[in-house]
Amino acid sequence: MSHPLDGRKVTVLIIGAGPGGLCAGITLRRAGITDFIILEKASGVGGTWWHNRYSGAECDVQSHLYSFSFEPKADWSRPYAGQREIKTYIEHVAVKYGMLPHCDFDTEVQSLRWQEADASWRVALADGRQISARFVISGIGMFNEVALPEIVGLDDFAGTMFHTARWKDGHDLTGERVAIIGSAASAVQTAPEIAPIVAQLDLYQRTPQWVLPKKDEPFTAEELQAFRQDPAKVAAQRQEIRAELEAAILFDDAELNLSSERAARRNIEVVEDLELRRRLTPDWRYGCRRPLLSNLYYPIFNRDNVRLIDEGIQRVVPNGVVTARGELRETDTIILATGFQTTLYLAALDVTGRDGLHIRDAWRDGAIAYQGITTAGFPNLFMLYGPNTNNNSLITMLELESGYAVRHIKRLLDAQLTSSEVRADVMADWNGQLQRDIADITVWRSDCRGYYRAPSGRIVTQFPYTMTTYAQMLAMDDRACYLDA
């Protein structure tokens, strides 16, 4: 359903129809707030699971936990579901909880500007329309803007080229000479899927990754029947997965880190060539970067048509890639598996807050927010999966944050207040403690060229607490932390 948006005034605007935006909408309706719209630049719901539809795309959190607590799914096909199954689940949630009538697809938000005169956000869309909203909930998260590598001649390539997060549907790789640039999550998932069908697969690795074995055997018919018949078994699965993640996610258990690193080293042993094993083995401590999971990645390096290139790229030419040593690797298709601009968050949009303060100026030293949700100088604005909230199951995080944001929105509406923003001193104190706690996690202090840090060097993605602790934090009455008007 499409809304006549131009000139519309709405109580709450939600940006993004991914899991976060949908969760926020569902939470608003449960609170009795129905005057909201969800703007989504894609053509359907799903967010990252709409855009990341590359071959082999899947989640690295088990699906019984990577799902909403209010909508458990008994019949996940396997522990770690793939993109299509996850997207189907999100579509089911959107329909069941009545979110589609609130959605406006193919609608991209271009800018947000705070209007002091009427305490609202003026929202400009990419097609020229404008709307006004009292409150904004951003669901764009940290995996929004793709990162493109700075390689000489990349624009000169005459073949086919696309990013994994913008997969070229319908393009047949069969028999082609393919280059994957990058060696993190999307490359580790994509490469095993296409290696059997391409004539040549060159994998350009800048930094080797720790890739753990994955316990991902499909559920048996008997297991699925048990899940369907007894919801308590699904709840027990959720609790077990969460407990395992809570114990490991902070990488503060040296023995557990060492055990995981040993498992990753054993995983590499499937590679037959000893020199190749060495080149695939990281020289940085486990946990410094995001660990990956795959049983399929390392075996591809035993194939004759797969080559690891870790010497760097000199330039791209119309017919291929020239390595740092000067070798031309003729190529038909380049796949950019280079991830996202993870440190931008809301700064991926043009956002101006109170007194003309632009978000990029406010975040000059890196994205910063109180509890990852609100930032000083930007009233009536809430972020889901915002700065320093990368931890555990994202779905759990989104439920907690949506509940917090809607609680404050309802508080303001019930009290007939016009605006509220977090106090600058509260935000500074919160982030000061957060950064001290991050500094206590030894492996995160290492410099392994991961995506955690802003250009200033400050870690702006990682969350140094468990979900249990975060839930307790967000449940506290913190009205005194805000300036209301």
Q: Which of 336, 363, 398 is the last residue of a domain?
A: 336
Give the three-state DSSP class for 77.
coil
Q: How far apart are CA 63 and CA 224, in angstroms?
A: 13
Residues 35 and 88 in one domain: yes
User: In which band, very low, low, confident or very high, does the pLDDT at 334 lie, cut at 50, 70 and 90?
Assistant: very high
Number of domains in the chain: 2
| Average pLDDT of the segment spanning 178-193 | 97
Residues 90 and 56 in one domain: yes
pTM of the model: 0.96
Residues 355 and 478 in one domain: yes
Q: How far apart are CA 99 and CA 102, in angstroms?
A: 5
Give the residue numbers spanning the domain of 327.
Answer: 154-210+252-336
Give the three-state DSSP class for 390.
strand
Residues 167 and 270 in one domain: yes
Asked if residue 359 is part of any domain, the answer here is: yes
Q: What is the chain's mean pLDDT, rounded?
A: 96
User: In which band, very low, low, confident or very high, does the pLDDT at 220 lie, cut at 50, 70 and 90?
Assistant: very high
CA torsion 253-259-260-263 (nearest 10°) is 180
Whether 178 shows a pLDDT value over 90: the answer reads yes
Contact 139, 127 (CB under 8 A): no
Residues 361 and 321 in one domain: no
Asked if residue 216 is part of any domain, the answer here is: no
Whether 419 shows a pLDDT value over 90: the answer reads yes
Residues 182 and 127 in one domain: no
Q: Which of 336, 365, 387 is the last residue of a domain?
A: 336
* 123-146 pLDDT tens trace: 999 999 999 999 999 999 998 889
pLDDT of residue 143: 86
Q: How far apart are CA 63 and CA 271, in angstroms?
A: 29
pLDDT of residue 447: 75
| Token representation of residue 358 | 């632009």
| Token representation of residue 454 | 């802003």
Residues 475 and 351 in one domain: yes
* 307-333 pLDDT tens trace: 999 999 999 999 999 999 999 999 999
Q: How far apart are CA 390 and CA 450, in angstroms?
A: 13
Asked if residue 220 is part of any domain, the answer here is: no
pLDDT of residue 197: 98
Whether 1 shows a pLDDT value over 60: the answer reads no
81 class by beta-carbon count within 10 Å (0-12 exposed, 13-18 middle, 19+ buried): buried
Residues 170 and 304 in one domain: yes
Tell me how far CA of residue 417 lies from CA of 31, 377, 379, in angstroms.
17, 17, 12
State percent of the chain over pLDDT 70: 99
| Average pLDDT of the segment spanning 214-224 | 96
Contact 268, 278 (CB under 8 A): no
Q: Tell me the CATH number at 277.
A: 3.50.50.60
Asked if residue 244 is part of any domain, the answer here is: no
Residues 35 and 61 in one domain: yes
Residues 116 and 182 in one domain: no
Contact 68, 133 (CB under 8 A): no
| Average pLDDT of the segment spanning 354-373 | 97
Asked if residue 315 is part of any domain, the answer here is: yes
pLDDT of residue 3: 52
Contact 111, 349 (CB under 8 A): yes
| Average pLDDT of the segment spanning 252-277 | 96
Residues 297 and 401 in one domain: no
* 38-52 pLDDT tens trace: 999 999 999 999 999
* 438-479 pLDDT tens trace: 999 999 988 787 889 999 999 999 999 999 999 999 999 999
pLDDT of residue 305: 98
Strands 9-15 and 36-39: parallel
Asked if residue 238 is part of any domain, the answer here is: no
Asked if residue 219 is part of any domain, the answer here is: no
Q: Which of 336, 370, 401 is the last residue of a domain?
A: 336
Asked if residue 158 is part of any domain, the answer here is: yes
Which candidate, 309, 404, 297, places its Cα nearest to that of 60? 297
Give the three-state DSSP class for 147.
coil
Residues 329 and 189 in one domain: yes
